[in-house]
Every structure is written in structure tokens, then in C-alpha cells.
């Protein structure tokens, strides 16, 4: 009912919605509580308050209770769900969850290029933050392409910094699959830092070094350095995309 009420009357059109109910004596106690919640939901954030009231009426179970989730009040619901999701993924793979590994963020990619949604392209701060979050939460290339199409449809052709943001996000997804912790690249080359559980075959790296010893070399146990002229941002993207493709294990 609350959602329907919000859909009545848009832009300069004035409209009215009449919600008819039976006499209170014929309604259950829960129905009366819900109507009271709807009638009191007038301000920003009313949808969340309604959902909270609905949970209180129906009962939320023990998801947020001490008996079920322990220290959830200390870490917050969102962080708790991220921790739970990571633990479940590890267990499904037959691995022991790494509780010392930091949550969120993923691999760090620094190509020294502007990667953002400019104010002039999307002036509304709230909408811009939502779009940043949606891009950061994209799980594959298809979802990123869908976001690009949506942004072009809603706001116009993407400016160069926004294109960079999407391509860097795609590189992060590829780096995460390969077990890469950090990429730092500039006009003269860059470095790749591998995680301990990387899936990249060391033999692949050795073959790269053997094929071009002046271009590739190791720097310590987990660092791989490449020296390639990449003055233009496009060259950095192309170089890393090609390198990630060569590092991807064949299936």
C-alpha cells in the first residue's frame, strides 16, 4: 500500500489515492498495527521504518538475536553478512576461512589515471554515490556493461574518467580471480603483487621473463615487475588487460 501511494501523482500531475478499509472491529490486531504504521510514514526513510515495523509485527526470528548471531551488534549487520558470505564461500570450496584477511575493497589498482564520475556528468550527490556503489559491487563483465548502458541511457555518453572507472573495476575483477593483491602502473611500467593463494602458474611468469628478460623480472617472492612504455592511459589499460589474459590459467 505504501509503494502504491508513492506511485500516485508525478511531476506536475496532481492525483489522489484513497485506501479503503473495513471497520476496525472486523480487522485483526496485526492489520490495525500495519495501518497505523502506514498512516505515520510520511517522511524520508519511511520505507525502511515500515519494513522495520513489519518485522516487529511478524517477528524477525533470531537472525539479529544474541543466540543466533553473537557479536552482530558490535560489527553491524552489513559487515556481519560480508563475513558470513566469505566464510560460506570458503567452506564450499573446501577451504578454511581466513579470518585474518581484511574484508572488502578487493585488489588495489593504481594506473595514475582519473577514474571517477564527474559532478558535471551526474550532479546529484546521492545518485552519484549510488552509482559508485553499484559499480563497485558489480560481479562480472556483463553486469558492468549493463551499468554502462544504463548510465548512457540516463545521463548521456560516458566522459573519459567514467570510462576509466569502469575499466579499472573490470581489471579488479580479473585481478581478484587471479589472486593479485595490488597493481601499480605508470608511464614507464609497473608492478604486480600476488597473494599467497594466487592461481597464476609460476611457470607462466618464468616463461614471460625468458621471452623478454629486459621487460619482465621478479622483485622478491611475490612481486612481478614489467617495464613497458605506457605514456597514454589507453596503453596502460591495454597492457594490463593483455598481461592478465596471459596469466589466466587455461581451462
pLDDT band at 8 (very low <50, low <70, confident <90, very high): low
pLDDT band at 31 (very low <50, low <70, confident <90, very high): confident
Domains along the sequence of the chain with CATH: 2-58 (no CATH), 68-104 (no CATH), 108-247 (3.90.1150.50)
**Three-class SS string for the chain?**
CHHHHHCCCCCCCCCCCCCCCCCHHHCCHHHHHHHHHHHCCCCCCHHHHHHHHHHHHHCCCCCCCHHHHCCHHHHCHHHHHHHHHHHHHHHHCCCCCCCCCCCCCCCEEECCCCCCCCCCCCCCHHHHHHHHHHHHCCCCHHHHHHHHHHHHHHHCCCCHHHHHHHHHHHHHHHHHHHCEEEEEEECCEEEEEECCCCCCCHHHHHHHHHHCCCCEEECCCCEEEECCCCCCHHHHHHHHHHHHHHHCCCC
| Percent share of the chain, pLDDT over 70 | 76
pLDDT, average across residues 57-82: 59
pLDDT band at 69 (very low <50, low <70, confident <90, very high): very low
Question: Does residue 60 carry a pLDDT above 70?
Answer: no
The pTM (predicted TM-score) of the whole model is 0.63
pLDDT band at 44 (very low <50, low <70, confident <90, very high): low
pLDDT band at 85 (very low <50, low <70, confident <90, very high): confident
pLDDT of residue 136: 87
Question: Does residue 127 carry a pLDDT above 50?
Answer: yes
Average pLDDT of the chain to the nearest whole number:
82
Amino acid at each position: 500500500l505504501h509503494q502504491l501511494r508513492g506511485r500516485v501523482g508525478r511531476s506536475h500531475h496532481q492525483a489522489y489515492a484513497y485506501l479503503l478499509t473495513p471497520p476496525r472491529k472486523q480487522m485483526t490486531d496485526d492489520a490495525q498495527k500495519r495501518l497505523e504504521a502506514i498512516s505515520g510514514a510520511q517522511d524520508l526513510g519511511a520505507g525502511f521504518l515500515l519494513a522495520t515495523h513489519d518485522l516487529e509485527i511478524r517477528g524477525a526470528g533470531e537472525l539479529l538475536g544474541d543466540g543466533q548471531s553473537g557479536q552482530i551488534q558490535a560489527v553491524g549487520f552489513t559487515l556481519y553478512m560480508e563475513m558470513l558470505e566469505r566464510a560460506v564461500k570458503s567452506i564450499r570450496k573446501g577451504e578454511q576461512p581466513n579470518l585474518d584477511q581484511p574484508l572488502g575493497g578487493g585488489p588495489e589498482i593504481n594506473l595514475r589515471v582519473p577514474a571517477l564520475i564527474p559532478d558535471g556528468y551526474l550532479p546529484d550527490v546521492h545518485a552519484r554515490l549510488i552509482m559508485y556503489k553499484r559499480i563497485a559491487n558489480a560481479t562480472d563483465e556483463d553486469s558492468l556493461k549493463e551499468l554502462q548502458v544504463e548510465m548512457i541511457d540516463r545521463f548521456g555518453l560516458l566522459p573519459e574518467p567514467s570510462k576509466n572507472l569502469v575499466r579499472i573495476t573490470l581489471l579488479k575483477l580479473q585481478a581478484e580471480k587471479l589472486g593479485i593483491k595490488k597493481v601499480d602502473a605508470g608511464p614507464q611500467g609497473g608492478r604486480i603483487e600476488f597473494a599467497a593463494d594466487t592461481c597464476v602458474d609460476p611457470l607462466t611468469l618464468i616463461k614471460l621473463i625468458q621471452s623478454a628478460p629486459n621487460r619482465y623480472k621478479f622483485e622478491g617472492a611475490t612481486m612481478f615487475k614489467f617495464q613497458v612504455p605506457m605514456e597514454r592511459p589507453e596503453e596502460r589499460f591495454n597492457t594490463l588487460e593483455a598481461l592478465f589474459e596471459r596469466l589466466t590459467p587455461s581451462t
